[in-house]
Amino acid sequence: MIPAGRALRLTVFVDDTDTWCHRPLYTEIVHRAHAAGLAGASVFRGVEGFGATSTVHTTRLLSMADDLPVVVTIIDTEERIRAFLPRLDDLPAEGLAILDEVEVVRRGGTAV
């Protein structure tokens, strides 16, 4: 459980077609976060976006309905997130990962 207060958010941007060992890359990231004992991870599928290639991918055009953006978000203490980062080093480098400080104001059923 994340205590109320400062935390770190790791956000990893990948494509929904990216794979690692025959399974979606975002699934591999979530399972590694779980195995590392992190507080939680969520995956969000984008409906439109572009990345390094500057090609816009969207669900509105059938021909471009693949290769959509997917975002994996993990929030935990700074120490635990930074210790987890090396566990992503062997994954494909096409994705973008960012870190930003966040403030946890609610956890479980307790408002702070």
Domain borders along the chain are 5-39+46-78+90-104
pLDDT at position 82 is 97
Following DSSP, what letter does each residue of 40-106 receive, concatenated? -EEEEE-SEE--TT---EESSSGGG-SS-EEEEEEEE-HHHHHHHGGGGTTS-TTSEEEEEEEEE-E
Average pLDDT estimate for 87-93: 89
pLDDT at position 107 is 63
Better pLDDT: 32 or 67: 32
Instruction: Indicate whether 11 pLDDT > 70.
Output: yes
Instruction: Indicate whether 59 pLDDT > 90.
Output: no
Question: Domain 5-39+46-78+90-104 maps to which CATH number in 3.90.320.10, 3.30.70.120, 3.20.20.70, 3.40.50.10890?
Answer: 3.30.70.120
> What is the pTM assigned to this prediction?
0.83
Instruction: Indicate whether 105 pLDDT > 70.
Output: yes
Other residues' Cβ atoms within 10 Å of the Cβ of residue 76: 24
